[in-house]
Amino acid sequence: MGNGILVVAEHEGGTIKKTAYELLTKAGELAASIGGKVSALLIGADDPGDLGAYGAGTVYTVTGDAFTHYTTTATVAALQAAIEAADPAVVLAPASPQAKDAFPRLAARLGAGLGTEVTGLEARDGRVVARRPQYAGKAFTDVHIKGDLALFTVRPNSFAVGEATGGSAEVVALSVDVGEPKVKVVDTEAPSGDTVDLTEADRIVSGGRAVKSKENFDKYIRPLAASIGATVGASRAAVDAGYAPHSEQVGQTGKVVNPSLYIAVGISGAIQHLAGMRTSKIIVAINKDPEAPIFQHSTYGIVGDLFDICPLLTEEFQALG
Amino acid sequence: MKIGVLLKQVPASDARIKIADPSTGIDTADIKWEINPYDEYALEAALQLKDAKQASSVVVLTVGGADADQRIRDALARGADAAVRLDDPAFEGSDCLGIARILAAAAKAEGVELLLAGKQAIDGDNAQVPGMVAELLGWGNISVVDKLEFADGTVKAWRASGGGARDVVEASLPLVITCDKGLNEPRYASLKGIMMAKRKKIAVKGAADLGLDPSTVGAAAALVVEDNWSLPPERPAGRILEGDDATRVKELVRLLRDEAKVI
Ligand SMILES: Cc1cc2nc3c(=O)[nH]c(=O)nc-3n(C[C@H](O)[C@H](O)[C@H](O)COP(=O)(O)OP(=O)(O)OC[C@H]3O[C@@H](n4cnc5c(N)ncnc54)[C@H](O)[C@@H]3O)c2cc1C
Ligand SMILES: Nc1ncnc2c1ncn2[C@@H]1O[C@H](COP(=O)(O)O)[C@@H](O)[C@H]1O
């Protein structure tokens, strides 16, 4: 029976992502209650960055040609090797497209219980209990995992990053035999913008049907987002009308986001849109209809015309410097 | 090539969710059930492959009770050839891994080479079952696909790879693929399809029919246990800002900076 917590540290071209520090911070708290050490796994990179400072005693690294680009086969093999090496009671990974792809396979291979997209973690009676949304956030449950190993994928921005108080980590390179991946990557299409992906974004500005055209979307919504370094989102109505690509859709059939700040512009707040953004910490609504349901879910609201408000707000944000 | 479509019924996306009992789950009394929207993309992708003569037949696989038959009929009316509903008292209380074991056994029994599923079921939002099925069968899997090409047993698919990037991947059968919005526009059943579906049978199979050890599924085998159901925490009433546009915009920026501390 293992103990301690293994955190999957994701990186972008070798630079460790914020999600890793969020998870390490939480892992430190949990390990203080359930016992055991905190370690981290880096796949396709070998510079542990600040993982030690944020509490990882050991950083397992897996590198080589098989890991330069994500494949399910290689990542599941790396996870399996790290779990063998660290023998943890709990594995935490960000709920990224990669982890969401790899973890169900890993769980089936190891016969371990998996909780996905969790937004809360707590130690209770020496075990980790998760809290997660279901029915698109219309209900929440606790998740208990039986057995020796519990796997969780955690929604980005669920936990704050704490102070870097730890030391430096011991780096252990694992050699992993991957074999032939069943699914081969033949090409990669770069992201359209240079902003953080919606699912990880800390600030989001979304536009709805009321924006009326792609030209307006580019003229009112994108500059507003740029003024605070926010990622652009859209309602399904805006996407279906062609104002924004589907990759920017927020909601039940789009992306689920969890930012600190979500600004909804000309969006009514349909239940399927709320499904994607209701866990945002601060929600701002700009809508000319005072009865729009979005106001019932927002922290701050401006009842007004988006074509008047957006330019003013962009200017004020820019003035913040 | 025979295609299996993993199809689940879920509460409609605009359903109001009420909690029946915090220890067991939601109140299903007033729920309107629909085919999981992502499974509609999977079904449509399968039907298009059949229309293009790249698939010989399409079988719908559902783990669920008789109340799912209406949704299965809908799939048959849209053009699926056959359906198997996996139903057995031993299946009750299965977690995702249990459901996956049932579906993997059914896929094997049906002799399918390609399984198309939704990227997640919008009830539990787990996004676990298809990847688990792939592992249990030892097949490759491709998740969250919004574009798919198929030629001579080779699949080319476009999937999200994080950070807004997309991967183009290739694989050969057998495979499990999960479908995202954008893949296609699901068709409606035609009148003719509805009439034809009346003559199609929904086969019902249990653990014994599948050669499945009942102790590997159901509540007793479940590793994941959910309880303490509740509605999302209420948000305190929002603040509607007053004054002319310029005043309100300035006030909003001040609140975001000084009160909410998010900018
Ligand atoms: C199965 C299913 C899945 C779905 N998935 C999603 C999803 O993932 N994401 C999603 O967003 N939707 C989804 N929907 C659609 C959803 O039900 C709504 O239709 C959609 O969210 C509406 O988009 P909207 O708010 O932009 O448009 P509307 O509902 O038309 O709202 C526009 C708003 O703009 C306001 N407005 C108009 N003019 C102005 C102006 N000049 N200034 C300021 N405000 C103005 C109006 O008062 C109104 O409130 C789904 C629906 C179904 C059935
Ligand atoms: N009970 C079930 N019967 C048939 N297919 C299912 C069932 N549960 C899940 N699936 C399939 O697996 C996908 C993902 O479901 P989930 O892992 O529950 O989010 C769904 O979109 C379905 O295609």
Count CA atoms closer than 13 A to B137's CA, side-chain side: 28
Residue A25 CA to residue A154 CA, distance in Å, equals 13
CA distances from A266 to A186, A252, A263, A295 (A): 40, 18, 10, 11
Residue B85 CA to residue B33 CA, distance in Å, equals 16
Residue A10 CA to residue A49 CA, distance in Å, equals 12
Residue B52 CA to residue A295 CA, distance in Å, equals 48
Query: Taking CB atoms and an 8 Å limit, are A185 and B167 in contact across chains?
Result: yes
Residue B175 CA to residue A108 CA, distance in Å, equals 16
Query: Taking CB atoms and an 8 Å limit, are A117 and B127 in contact across chains?
Result: yes
Could you tell me if A319 and A311 are in contact, meaning their C-beta atoms sit under 8 angstroms apart?
Answer: no
Q: How many CB atoms lie within 10 A of CB A245?
A: 13
In this structure, what token pair is assigned to residue B196? 């034809």
CA distances from A273 to A150, A209, A268, B116 (A): 31, 12, 9, 26
User: How far does the centroid of ligand 2 lie from the alpha carbon of residue A8, in Å?
Assistant: 26
Pick B163's closest partner by Cβ from A105, A191, A228.
A191
Residue B140 CA to residue A79 CA, distance in Å, equals 17
**Which of A7-11, A243-247, A315-319 is predicted least confidently?**
A243-247
Model confidence pLDDT, tens digit, residues B82-119: 999 999 999 999 999 999 999 999 999 999 999 999 99
Domains of chain A, CATH where assigned: 5-173 (3.40.50.620), 198-320 (3.40.50.1220)
Could you tell me if A44 and A12 are in contact, meaning their C-beta atoms sit under 8 angstroms apart?
Answer: no
Whether the predicted pLDDT of B233 surpasses 90: no
Count CA atoms closer than 13 A to B123's CA, side-chain side: 20
* Range ranked top by mean pLDDT from A166-170, A190-194, A265-269, B151-155: A265-269
Pick A309's closest partner by Cβ from B26, B238, B249.
B249
Q: How many CB pairs below 8 A link A and B?
A: 263
- Per DSSP, the residues of B141-186 read EEEEEEEEEEETTEEEEEEEEETTEEEEEEEESSEEEEE-TTS--P
**A120-124 and A127-134 beta bridge pairing:** antiparallel
Query: What CA dihedral angle connects A64, A69, A71 and A73, to 10 degrees?
Result: 0
Whether the predicted pLDDT of B38 surpasses 90: yes
Whether the predicted pLDDT of B203 surpasses 90: yes
Could you tell me if A277 and A250 are in contact, meaning their C-beta atoms sit under 8 angstroms apart?
Answer: yes
Secondary structure of residue B17 in the 3-state scheme? coil
Residue A187 CA to residue A184 CA, distance in Å, equals 9
Strand partners, B38: none
Provide CATH 3.40.50.620 ranges for chain B: 2-221
pLDDT-above-90 percentage for chain A: 92
Please identify which residue in the block is written with the tokens 């200017």. Answer: A315
Q: What is the pLDDT of residue A1?
A: 66
Pick A134's closest partner by Cβ from B14, B124, B129.
B124
- Per DSSP, the residues of A128-182 read EEEEEEEGGGTEEEEEEE-SS-EEEEE-TTSS---------PEEEEPP------S
Whether the predicted pLDDT of B126 surpasses 90: yes
Helices (DSSP H) in chain A: which residue ranges? 18-34, 72-86, 97-110, 214-216, 222-227, 236-240, 271-277, 306-319
**What one-letter code names the amino acid at A220?**
Y
Interchain CB contact of A136 with B (< 8 Å): yes
Whether the predicted pLDDT of A315 surpasses 90: yes
Q: Kindly report whether the peptide bond that precedes residue B214 is cis, defined as omega within 30 degrees of 0.
A: no
Interchain CB contact of A175 with B (< 8 Å): no
Model confidence pLDDT, tens digit, residues A243-270: 999 889 999 999 999 999 999 999 999 9
Model confidence pLDDT, tens digit, residues A108-145: 999 999 999 999 999 999 999 999 999 999 999 999 99
Q: What is the pLDDT of residue A194?
A: 67
Q: How confident is the model at residue B165 (pLDDT cuts 50, 70, 90)?
A: confident
Q: Which of 3.40.640.10, 3.40.50.620, 3.40.50.10190, 3.30.950.10 is the CATH number of B2-221? A: 3.40.50.620
* ipTM reported for the complex, 2 dp: 0.95
Query: CA end-to-end span of chain B, whole Å?
Result: 55
pLDDT-above-70 percentage for chain A: 99
Q: What is the pLDDT of residue A193?
A: 67
DSSP 8-state class, residue A255 = B
**Which protein residues touch ligand 1 with a CB less than 6 Å away?**
A 208-210, 235-238, 249-254, 266-268, 270, 272-273, 276, 286-289, 292, 305-307; B 13, 37
Residues 6+ apart with CB under 8 A from B188: B78
Interface of B with A in 181-200 (CB under 8 A): 181-182
Q: How confident is the model at residue B140 (pLDDT cuts 50, 70, 90)?
A: very high
CA distance A146 to chain B (A): 5
State pTM to two decimals: 0.95
- Per DSSP, the residues of B50-84 read HHTTS-SEEEEEEES-GGGHHHHHHHHHHT--EEE
Interchain CB contact of A94 with B (< 8 Å): no
Helices (DSSP H) in A59-132: which residue ranges? 72-86, 97-110
| Chain A positions in Cβ-Cβ contact with residue B162 (cut-off 8 Å) | 10, 70, 96-98, 197
Model confidence pLDDT, tens digit, residues A41-71: 999 999 999 999 999 999 999 999 999 999 9
